[in-house]
Chains A and B, each alone.
Chain A
Amino acid sequence: MSPAQPSAPQRLQPRGPSWNRRAWNAGVLSACWLAAATVVLPLALIVWHLLAKGLPAMNLAFFLHMPKPVGEPGGGMANAIVGTLILVALGAAIAVPIGVGAGVWLSEYGRGRFASMVRYTADVLAGVPSIVVGVVAYGLVVVPMGRFSALAGGVALGILMLPTIVRSTEEVVRLVPRSYREAALALGAPRWRTIQQVVIPAASAGIVTATMLALARAAGETAPLLFTALGNRFWSLQLDQPMASLPVFIFDYARAPYEDWNRQAWTGALVLIMLVTLLSAVLRITLRRLPGRS
């Protein structure tokens, strides 16, 4: 027997995956494409319908006039727009000092178990349904005061804003380079002045953006206002009285059996969404451009 001739080295032919694996691959990949398209579809539809149904009734009077009684055409939501701004400002007055303080604490002092408990609690608070917050604000403010009031609405919105402000403040303050702190300390500044006059100003752009994001979100909240600020068909700037707000107005007008009101609800929704999304879109872009943020 002759020794086995080593056969010519056979070139390893790269064989592609079998047809069924290729078919499966193509199926899965196109399903992902399809899913992405389907996810974007509702946004396109919502924006389209908002514009189509909301724009026709949008005019200057909508912003400047008071609501008209049923049957009378025209009228606007001036009081609701102003009411929303006041309620959000009230909420911010409560949530911003506390939220920024807690966020700075988390970033500058927050170590150990207590800090992670604060973080965890803030995260859990962010998940509390807004209607529950409304019920709580009702018990805390409306019941002792004996009536629905803008103040109660502000408290509810403040509770809702707080977790977002805390967590995002912590994030942006942490982005301030360590060298800033070292430089300030090296100059002889005590720690509190370092934080107050160097670290916080350095992070201020980020803190403002994060805060505005929380405000924008709160501006669109309806559920916590239903039984706190209640709503008001008249012009009112009194904080101890019921106050109108855009979302509650939209809710009432959308459920009313009058076509004219329904149209105005769409316009109100368009105004609200312009307020909220424009604000948050601009903010998201500026947030991205923030120094030190990848």
Chain B
Amino acid sequence: MGTPWPARPPGRARRWAFADEAYRGLLTASALFVFVIAALIVYESARGSGLSVRTFGWSFLTSTEWDPVAGRFGALPYLYGTLVSSGLAMLLSVPLGLGAAVFLAELAPQRVGDAVAFVVELLASIPSIVYGIWGLFVLAPFLRTALEPWLIRHLGFLPLFEGFPFGIGMLNAGIVLAVMVLPTIVSLSREILLSTPRTLREAALALGSTRSEAIGVVLDAARPGILGAVILGLGRALGETMAVTMVIGNASRISASLLAPGATMASVIANEFTEATGDLYLSALIEIALVLFVLTLLVNAVARLLVHWAAGGRRDVAGTA
């Protein structure tokens, strides 16, 4: 796109041609720097993980053994933890977020919608460490004393809910992550709903639809964009570090129960990076960072494409994350 400039009048400004070119070159160099940084991220994480990649190959992703003393590293428990905690977060946040977005875009009076959207965006600016401290000192005791004993008593026959009420663990991480990605899902979905043509609602209502049926029509039209918003939220959940590190319990094992402590790729890096002794250990952690990077890259790339496509290049959508 870019702002269209008037054509240069012929015959003048020749004098400034050099200055113009130099200025343009300077700005172009800054733009190129964006690529440089992206390339540096790829290069550094690839270089740092080289040793680990050469030593373990693909088994790094399939082995569950994480033994710094013996020098054997497998990232499967962390991959599992990342996917399960993020999956749980999406399970909780997608229905809630969609409902809230529909409320804000379709049902609430504009002023209320704007006000709540403002509050939700404030949620997005809360640092993740604050979510973490809340999850650790408020949510965890609640889960330990109230919700988890209840789950064990009534649903304990499922492997999902067996074990002891620790308070910290996969469930806590899932809930905290859900709270953290809600703002992304709500505000992007609201934007997308607001950008669908008004005529869709009018046509549906004119045909005798109830309000909820008209909303169904609008949701159908907004589906790709909403899917993009959800995937963008997923990308955020996958890479979230501090809050998860504080509430997941940091145990490098795979357990079926959501109540058991676990670990994610981000949390194991946060916990062990400064204490990593030996090149192989460090390299293994950097390889986890590389895997995490590639994972979020894929997820975000898909989401951005969907959102851009659905919103037709509208502003805000891209800049919100």
Instruction: Using CB atoms and an 8 Å cutoff, list the residues of chain A in contact with chain B.
Output: 17, 21-22, 24-25, 27-29, 31-36, 38-40, 42-43, 45-46, 49-50, 53, 97-102, 104-111, 115, 117-136, 138-140, 159, 162-164, 166-168, 171, 173-174, 176, 178, 181-182, 185, 188, 190-193, 195-196, 216-217, 219-223, 226-227, 230, 247, 250-251, 254-255, 262, 265-266, 269, 272-273, 276-277, 280-281, 284
Taking CB atoms, residues of chain A closer than 8 Å to B212 are 24-25, 27-29
B239 lies within 8 A of A39 (CB): no
A223 lies within 8 A of B133 (CB): no
Given known contacts A190-B16, A221-B127, A254-B133, A120 and B45 CB-to-CB distance under 8 angstroms: no
Tell me if B's interface is mostly helix, strand, loop or mixed. Answer: helix
Query: Can you pick out 25 interface pairs between chain A and chain B where the beta carbons lie within 8 Å of each other?
Result: A24-B210, A32-B102, A36-B116, A50-B130, A101-B31, A102-B34, A115-B2, A123-B300, A123-B321, A127-B232, A127-B236, A127-B297, A127-B304, A129-B240, A129-B296, A131-B270, A136-B289, A190-B19, A191-B5, A193-B16, A220-B128, A222-B127, A250-B129, A265-B133, A284-B121
Taking CB atoms, residues of chain A closer than 8 Å to B108 are 36
The residue from B37, B47, B125, B130 contacting A125, defined by CB atoms under 8 A apart: B37
> Measured between alpha carbons, how far is A136 from B285 in the docked complex, in Å?
12
> Measured between alpha carbons, how far is A31 from B2 in the docked complex, in Å?
43
Given known contacts A118-B35, A125-B38, A49 and B16 CB-to-CB distance under 8 angstroms: no
A139 lies within 8 A of B286 (CB): yes
B95 lies within 8 A of A35 (CB): yes
For window 7-41 of chain B, which residues contact chain A by CB distance below 8 Å?
8, 12-13, 15-16, 19-20, 22-24, 26-31, 33-35, 37-38, 40-41
B98 contacts the other chain (Cβ, under 8 Å)? Answer: yes
Taking CB atoms, residues of chain A closer than 8 Å to B318 are 119, 123, 167
B304 lies within 8 A of A111 (CB): no
Taking CB atoms, residues of chain B closer than 8 Å to A126 are 321
Number of interface residues of B (CB under 8 A): 104
Instruction: Using CB atoms and an 8 Å cutoff, list the residues of chain B in contact with chain A.
Output: 1-6, 8, 12-13, 15-16, 19-20, 22-24, 26-31, 33-35, 37-38, 40-41, 44-45, 47-48, 95-100, 102-104, 106-108, 116, 118-123, 125-134, 136-138, 179, 182, 186, 208, 210-213, 215, 232, 235-236, 238-242, 246, 266, 269-270, 273-274, 285-286, 289, 292-293, 296-297, 299-301, 303-304, 315, 318-319, 321
B274 lies within 8 A of A230 (CB): yes
Tell me if A's interface is mostly helix, strand, loop or mixed. Answer: helix
The residue from A34, A35, A125, A131 contacting B241, defined by CB atoms under 8 A apart: A131
A127 lies within 8 A of B24 (CB): no
Taking CB atoms, residues of chain B closer than 8 Å to A27 are 212
Taking CB atoms, residues of chain A closer than 8 Å to B12 are 188
Closest chain-A Cβ to B200's Cβ sits at a distance in Å of 17
Taking CB atoms, residues of chain A closer than 8 Å to B239 are 127-132
B127 lies within 8 A of A138 (CB): no
Taking CB atoms, residues of chain B closer than 8 Å to A39 are 96-97, 100, 120, 182, 186
